[in-house]
Amino acid sequence: MATAINQKQNFLKGIIKENPVFVMLLGMCPTLGVTSSAMNGLGMGIATLFVLLMSNIVVSLIKSQIPSKVRIPAFIIIIASFVTIVEMVLEAFIPFLYEQLGIFIPLIVVNCLILGRAEAFASKHNLLSSIIDALGMGIGFVIALTVLGATREILGSGSIFDIKFVSENANTFILFILPPGAFIALAYLAALFNRISIPTK
């Protein structure tokens, strides 16, 4: 089975058919928590993409060396290490983004998307398939977070990527910046996404 994988489909499934946010509803904590603006969503998405890619690579490389009874603790250690690396690098070189994302960076460790891909995919497939799976899933996650962030920012702040398009004193839907707005926006986007991407019978 591992050899017969169609790599193009493998890549695309993460973006459309098995989109981690809109279809599988994985990784809801960062999805709802940091997407108050498009920039935050994009930053969080890229940080997660990096961790996902690195952990998939390492897990797929050492999968035959890890006894199956201790595979989960081993995966968690690998993921936690990469998250800590991301945190240190962000703090040193992109302090602006580090401040914005705050507590949500260490929380990438418990993002079930990453452990889920390590367990369900990388531990069963070869290196190339795992890299492509991570890229597909990661990019699907980035797109979803950016779209959700942009939607909330447009409705809530009247701006996109911090560029205002309404006047300074205009009333915006502040609700969409607050936590309940995250749930509402996510629900509508997921519904819309599934309506478009899943062919009706």
Binding site for another protein (CB under 8 A): 36-37, 40, 62, 64-70, 73-74, 77-78, 80-81, 84-85, 88-89, 91-93, 95, 102, 156-157, 168, 172, 174, 177-178
- CB atoms near residue 37 (< 10 Å): 22
Least Cβ distance, residue 35 to another protein (angstroms):
10
Least Cβ distance, residue 166 to another protein (angstroms):
12
Q: Judge contact between 48 and 174, C-beta under 8 A.
A: no
Between residues 95 and 197, which has the closer beta carbon with respect to another protein? 95
Least Cβ distance, residue 81 to another protein (angstroms):
4
Output the CA–CA distances (angstroms, integers) from residue 52 to 83, 86, 131, in the order listed.
10, 11, 9
Between residues 103 and 196, which has the closer beta carbon with respect to another protein? 103
H or E segment to which residue 101 belongs: helix 95-101
Question: Sign of dihedral through CA atoms 48, 54, 56, 59?
Answer: negative
Rg from Cα positions in the chain:
18
Between residues 12 and 177, which has the closer beta carbon with respect to another protein? 177
3-class DSSP state for residue 159? strand
Least Cβ distance, residue 40 to another protein (angstroms):
8
Least Cβ distance, residue 49 to another protein (angstroms):
18
Between residues 6 and 93, which has the closer beta carbon with respect to another protein? 93
Cα-based torsion angle of the residue sequence 170, 148, 135, 52 in order, rounded to the nearest 10 degrees: 100
Between residues 89 and 198, which has the closer beta carbon with respect to another protein? 89
Between residues 16 and 160, which has the closer beta carbon with respect to another protein? 160
Least Cβ distance, residue 42 to another protein (angstroms):
14
Q: Judge contact between 20 and 140, C-beta under 8 A.
A: yes
C-alpha 26/C-alpha 193 separation (Å) is: 15
